[in-house]
Structure 1
């Protein structure tokens, strides 16, 4: 039974969550009602909204912040996939590898700032607060989702805005490395091997140049450790499955779900560790959750610091 996807998880959940689910333990209830109740229980008991990222990019149930457990996950986590995917075999790739990993894992886009939220039972709307940081402008073609046999036929959507908030070529290359690895410090202490691997294609424009122009153009002997080369490739390929490189109207770089569309908006939602892609619901003031993303320059509470300085405005958001 589809209900068992949730009932099995309850066995390893804290008692605060299992107690909230007691009225929903029974196969007579609609599957959707059990799934929504489970997401709601996790949110209310943890005070954290990261469970909204557990959804498959392909699911269609409403509300969009709940997880349809009948659909298998279609991407790896941006934050917690390290030991699951055995990258620890590359311990010697970087001298500061564990510090690099922990920086990403401990960073929060919301700066640790919590906010009141409310789930309206009758409408299944999740009311929360967040900061708008930009609208999707450009999108590179995507890599296939997990299990897919071929690449997407989707072509690049070249950005219309050419603003570059990162600075000179060196700073822009650094920002691109951070984005490709979804990590705000990757390649800072020691050179990432990825930039020394030639790309034969990559005409998507980012930071005012073609993607391929950020990489070495000739095949030469690479003097970097072999483990670093293997690790960089494994990490980038794994993180890009089901995702694509994007730019915002502000010029910022990002790594987002491959279901993203132009004019989707990116919010830093309080009580969410990662920026969130939202899609306006036509004819309403509500949004659907598309998924989590990485936006370079907004992974360690920068938007919240900007909010405190008056650069951004805190908005009420209704997720449907």
Structure 2
């Protein structure tokens, strides 16, 4: 009998059965970890909990059903109010068999050193990280068989990994399991690299008053050891751990919400405190974002650490602050499920072992209709899965917004109208709906919905259908223009391919004279929007007097006492290099550089320049400047992840507006069908102007088939 046969019998889905683990107390520090695997039903509710759920006051009087997490949170609050402090016992358990937590951890590479554990008397090989987490819990005895009522769900042990059908079924229940857990135990690993100092720093930051937070930057400049030595190094190392690069943790932590407990060695920190501490670093008015860099370098030098890159690695921090913190709050408040654009952004922040897990690691974040279609495609090729998800979003919302995420550059080579979840060219900070980092905006704001930013289609209803094999999308739309000139494509985040610019010297501005064209130019470079999708104002013409080079910008900022912009010195390179590369790009009878001045006028206000610098830095990411045959200008899609000459935009590509899609697309004929090359920005066509021309007969609606 193999391990699977010895440990696993079929689960009864109609009974809501799952397997849970109890951990035996550790006999000695060198003994093997021993566990008991039990099958229980999540439908076997205790009488007290059933009574609580049936009470209109606590559950039944809501306009929509409470989420699993909301129900659990309300139960825990009820217990604290009636008999504090809350401890797990037969009177607090939600189930007849007790209660459970769920473990969130990094599986790790299968080739790493593994450890044996004993499960129901059977020797099982576990990853080193899982064994370390189990050993820690065995020492503490929380989930031990001596307690007998507090179980823990662990994917590697509670799912029969050799049974594909069971894996698919359990993946579909991840939302129920993690959202319904009494707590989610997030295991970040053993304590090393002063991680305890990182936890200590976050506790201290979270406990600061609003007044102290506002002046923290200045305070730390005068007293860098305010929180002790090594704390910024410890936080940096903590946020650089492999845990934050694992995509599955996104769903697990979000569904756990405020019930998530982060464990690192012997130390633990609750989720709300963890997030509140990180939030202090994102405050624009205390300059902490730049000061933390200086403090890290100082602590590295004091440690004798000569690593080449001494900057903060902020991927883990952005993941927590921009995604996990905000989305866990939405989950607890019973908010809306994630749209496709947001899911793609989250999926791009982390890695997973299997490509299809880019989707399956987030099914708990999706609308049930979309999640169901994804689960149906569990054993299909990855390209089929991606197309099925895009189609599910189109059919759910009856619009063609998902086409904005399509392009031919994805490595899975699926339909161009369906987003490839593995394409590396997406950048969260390029989105016009995103909140911009700076002293003028609160990063607590989640940003506007993507479909509300532009209205190129004037809200016209989508008309679409799919081929029988799901590979082709047929839809209605109209062509408005052709690409005629192109600026440089982006080679990396830091540089552009100056040689591949395509000049169009016959271009004649559709906007009018030089003054009107200048206004169109700065509007296009700013994507026509400020933070949260707010439309531009005349004061944003400040972009035309924002110096290209730091040697011209810095002294003027210092002279005016513009402290925030003075601190942008190390970040000015993108604006400077984009301007340099496009200085001689022709806009009819004038060069692009000829529309700019390096002299900031008298009476200028720093906040205007902060806004336009942030928006311009966002605008040239993932986009390539373009001109059209009709005399318009804007942005074409660009492939930051690699140079694909065959699919790069080129003169002659069409700009089209699809009914039911709020932004224009660049498309290209491909035999009898068309390819989607990506989303475009056309100054003068983003707010319904093209549909007015359509109604006047300048354009005509036709049927497009996208492959």
Query: Does the Cα contact within 8 Å between 1:144 and 1:241 map onto a contact in 2?
Result: no
Give the equivalent residue in structure 1 for 2:677.
290
In the aligned structure 1, how far is the partner of 2:403 from the partner of 2:358? 17
Give the equivalent residue in structure 2 for 1:37.
388
User: 1:103 Cα deviation (Å)?
Assistant: 12
User: 1:73 Cα deviation (Å)?
Assistant: 4.1
User: 1:299 Cα deviation (Å)?
Assistant: 0.5
Change (3 A) 1:127 1:222: farther
Which one has the bigger helix percentage?
A: 2
Change (3 A) 1:149 1:196: closer
In the aligned structure 2, how far is the partner of 1:219 from the partner of 1:111? 40
Change (3 A) 1:212 1:125: same
Summarize the alignment of residues 81-96 of structure 1 with structure 2, pairs less than 5 Å apart.
81=434, 83=435, 85-87=436-438, 89-91=439-441
Selected match of 1:151 from 476, 480, 496: 496
In the aligned structure 2, how far is the partner of 1:305 from the partner of 1:155? 35
Give the equivalent residue in structure 1 for 2:619.
239
| Deviation by residue 1:196-241 (Cα, 9 ceiling, x = unmatched) | 124474111125310011111x545664222322331221122211
Query: Does the Cα contact within 8 Å between 1:143 and 1:244 map onto a contact in 2?
Result: yes
Selected match of 1:139 from 486, 490, 513: 486
TM-score with structure 1 setting the length: 0.85
Give the equivalent residue in structure 2 for 1:109.
456
Would you say 1:11 and 2:364 are equivalent positions?
yes
Selected match of 1:272 from 658, 661, 664: 661
In the aligned structure 2, how far is the partner of 1:208 from the partner of 1:103? 36
In the aligned structure 2, how far is the partner of 1:167 from the partner of 1:69? 42
Would you say 1:316 and 2:706 are equivalent positions?
no
User: 1:194 Cα deviation (Å)?
Assistant: 1.0
Change (3 A) 1:57 1:80: farther
Would you say 1:164 and 2:513 are equivalent positions?
no
- TM-align CA RMSD: 2.7
In the aligned structure 1, how far is the partner of 2:421 from the partner of 2:450? 30
In the aligned structure 1, how far is the partner of 2:451 from the partner of 2:419? 24
User: 1:102 Cα deviation (Å)?
Assistant: 9.7
Selected match of 2:688 from 276, 286, 301: 301
Query: Does the Cα contact within 8 Å between 2:668 and 2:675 map onto a contact in 1?
Result: yes
Would you say 1:194 and 2:543 are equivalent positions?
yes
Query: Does the Cα contact within 8 Å between 2:483 and 2:626 map onto a contact in 1?
Result: yes
Change (3 A) 1:35 1:198: same
Selected match of 2:585 from 181, 204, 211: 204
Query: Does the Cα contact within 8 Å between 2:433 and 2:453 map onto a contact in 1?
Result: no
Change (3 A) 1:14 1:102: closer
In the aligned structure 2, how far is the partner of 1:90 from the partner of 1:19? 41
Give the equivalent residue in structure 1 for 2:521.
176
Equivalences, count = 303
Query: Does the Cα contact within 8 Å between 2:457 and 2:658 map onto a contact in 1?
Result: yes
Query: Does the Cα contact within 8 Å between 2:546 and 2:600 map onto a contact in 1?
Result: no
Would you say 1:215 and 2:577 are equivalent positions?
no
Higher relative contact order (CA 8 A, sep 6+): 1
User: 1:171 Cα deviation (Å)?
Assistant: 1.3
Give the equivalent residue in structure 2 for 1:226.
606
User: 1:29 Cα deviation (Å)?
Assistant: 2.5
Q: Secondary structure at the match of 1:90?
A: coil
| Deviation by residue 1:77-132 (Cα, 9 ceiling, x = unmatched) | 54322x2x435x3249xxxxx9xx99994431101001310111326111111111
Query: Does the Cα contact within 8 Å between 1:128 and 1:316 map onto a contact in 2?
Result: yes
Higher mean displacement: 289-298 or 148-157 = 148-157
Query: Does the Cα contact within 8 Å between 2:540 and 2:608 map onto a contact in 1?
Result: no
Q: Secondary structure at the match of 1:288?
A: strand
In the aligned structure 2, how far is the partner of 1:112 from the partner of 1:22? 31
Change (3 A) 1:36 1:191: closer
In the aligned structure 2, how far is the partner of 1:236 from the partner of 1:113? 30
In the aligned structure 2, how far is the partner of 1:186 from the partner of 1:19? 38
Give the equivalent residue in structure 2 for 1:95.
none
Change (3 A) 1:205 1:153: closer
Would you say 1:65 and 2:417 are equivalent positions?
yes
Structure 1: gaps of 5 or more residues: 93-97
Q: Secondary structure at the match of 2:539?
A: coil
Query: Does the Cα contact within 8 Å between 2:634 and 2:682 map onto a contact in 1?
Result: yes
In the aligned structure 2, how far is the partner of 1:36 from the partner of 1:104? 20
In the aligned structure 2, how far is the partner of 1:291 from the partner of 1:139? 15
Higher mean displacement: 12-21 or 292-301 = 12-21
Change (3 A) 1:119 1:32: same
User: 1:243 Cα deviation (Å)?
Assistant: 1.2
Change (3 A) 1:123 1:21: closer
Query: Does the Cα contact within 8 Å between 1:144 and 1:242 map onto a contact in 2?
Result: no
Would you say 1:257 and 2:637 are equivalent positions?
yes
Change (3 A) 1:128 1:275: same
